[in-house]
Amino acid sequence: MSDFFKDNLLKNDLVAAPLAGYSHLPYRRILRKFFNGIIYSEMISVEGLARRNKETMEYLDRLESDTPLVFQIFGGKPENYAEAVRVAENECQVDAFDVNMGCPVKKVIKAGGGCSLLGDLGRIKAVVSNIRHATEKPFSIKIRIGLDEKNLVYKEILKIAENEGVNALVVHGRTKRDMFGGTVRIDILQEIADMANITVIGNGGVAGYNTYREMKATGVAGIMIGRSMMKAPWVFKAIEDKCSDDDLYNYLSPAEIGSLLIELWSYMLEHTKGRGMKETHYMHILKKFAVWFCKGFEMAADFRTNIYKTNSIDEVLSLIRQFYRC
């Protein structure tokens, strides 16, 4: 029998993390230029899916070629998960699901999702059991190692996952308290990889071949990349080419990076059409990418100031063309 996570990770052991606001269809089209591996979608509310909320349903937008793709879902109420996966499967092609149990952002915690689940193992069990009974699709859960150093829960969660038929465990090697700073606990990732009978994907702080190798040495089957993929979508190809962490932002020429941004805008425009979305929504995101992609470039500070000053897309594109010389 095929094993979605294991089989895909054997082909490519890198994984594109779920990033709310950024792992949307247009950006995934850019990622696919550098990457044929597993991409996680932005988190999608189970409550919204269960109610077939129009805006929530748009998070399921995908291209057939955008595969392997994992739809990440989040929410507080275990009873909504079963309906949410059914709705998603009726709506579109689904390769796999993931449950967000690691997001420390207030809005998500308040809704009872993300990291709040780490403090309630009974609810984790109910969530995964409901999903397992509702779908035959493979699914992972994405956790942090615990709430803080004194409340590490990864062993208990691994056990639940194995007993309840979860197919893969994604572990961000930090605690909730660490937020996005602090040391990634490589030692704990190794311990989990040694213990687990299901596929393990490690996550946290990978930004080039050096950090990739360090995480790979723990024995995890997959290495998930978050912020580096948001700031350098070419990171996947760069790691394949053994590009060091220090050289990540020199991997492409400025003109190549500029062309990527222009291409991204064309995908964003395409995606807004027919959906009643405002161009300005994506324009603000394009500006962020334009600023992130030029880390360390000369005159980057001026470019940043100028691009954030304007609200005209024509001017944004013209600034990109000038700065990146494309």
Ligand X SMILES: Cc1cc2nc3c(=O)[nH]c(=O)nc-3n(C[C@H](O)[C@H](O)[C@H](O)COP(=O)(O)O)c2cc1C
Q: Which residues form the interface with ligand X (CB under 6 A)?
A: 17-21, 42-43, 72, 100, 102-103, 142, 172, 180, 203-206, 225-228
Joined tokens for residue 29 = 């089209």
CB of 73 to ligand X, least distance (A): 10
Residue 203 marked as a ligand binder: yes
Residue 37 marked as a ligand binder: no
Residue 322 marked as a ligand binder: no
Question: In this complex, which beta carbon is closest to ligand X, that of residue 72 or of residue 324?
Answer: 72
By Cβ distance, which residue is nearest to ligand X?
A: 226
- Separation between Cα atoms, residue 180 and residue 174, nearest integer Å: 8
CB of 178 to ligand X, least distance (A): 10
- Identify the residue whose tokens are 């993300």: 114
Question: In this complex, which beta carbon is closest to ligand X, that of residue 31 or of residue 43?
Answer: 43
Residue 284 marked as a ligand binder: no
103 is catalytic: yes
Q: How many residues does the chain have?
A: 326
Q: Which CA distances in Å does 325 have to 97, 156, 262, 296, 318? A: 40, 53, 12, 16, 10
Question: In this complex, which beta carbon is closest to ligand X, that of residue 50 or of residue 184?
Answer: 184
CB of 14 to ligand X, least distance (A): 11
> How many other CB atoms sit within 10 Å of the CB of residue 57?
17
Helix, strand, coil distribution of the chain in percent, nearest 5:
50, 15, 35
Residue 250 marked as a ligand binder: no
Nearest CA-CA partner of 308 in 282, 279, 288, 281: 288
Strand partners, 38: 15
CB of 211 to ligand X, least distance (A): 9
Q: Are 135 and 166 in contact (CB under 8 A)?
A: no
Q: List the catalytic residue out of 103, 115, 243, 294.
A: 103
CB of 173 to ligand X, least distance (A): 9
Question: In this complex, which beta carbon is closest to ligand X, that of residue 183 or of residue 305?
Answer: 183
The conformation of residue 37, written as its DSSP 8-state character, comes to S
Q: Are 118 and 147 in contact (CB under 8 A)?
A: yes
Residue 205 marked as a ligand binder: yes
Question: In this complex, which beta carbon is closest to ligand X, that of residue 19 or of residue 290?
Answer: 19
CA 198 to chain centroid: 20
Q: Which residues define the annotated binding site for FMN?
A: 72, 142, 172, 203-205, 226-227
Active site residues: 103
The annotated binding site is made up of: 72, 142, 172, 203-205, 226-227
